[in-house]
């Protein structure tokens, strides 16, 4: 299981930046411009399920 302290590196090549948030066994990928309320709801649901 990945550590929350593990660094996350961007993939090589072009494309948009993505932040990966690891909660338990789940990985949530967040793209630029995501709505904060939606992200909060998703992270709360993932946290409750793990």
Residue 35's contacts (CB-CB under 8 Å, 6 or more residues apart) are none
pLDDT at 48: 92
More confident residue, 49 or 5: 49
Give the tens place of pLDDT for each residue, 8-37. 555 555 667 899 999 888 999 999 999 999
Helix boundaries (H) for 1-50: 36-49
Give the list of residues 6+ apart from residue 21 with CB closer than 8 angstroms, or none: 27, 28, 29, 30, 43
Where in the chain are the domains? Answer: 1-50
pLDDT of residue 1: 47
Look at residue 50 in the predicted model and tell me its pLDDT: 80
Give whole-number Cα distances, 44 to 12, 14, 20, 22, 50, in Å: 30, 31, 15, 13, 10
Is there a contact between 26 and 43 (Cβ–Cβ < 8 Å)?
no
């Amino acid at each position: 299981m990945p550590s929350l302290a593990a660094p996350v590196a961007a993939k090589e090549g072009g494309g948009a930046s993505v932040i990966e948030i690891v909660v338990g066994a789940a990985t949530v990928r967040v793209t630029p411009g995501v709505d904060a309320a939606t992200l909060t709801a998703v992270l709360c649901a993932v946290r409750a399920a793990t």
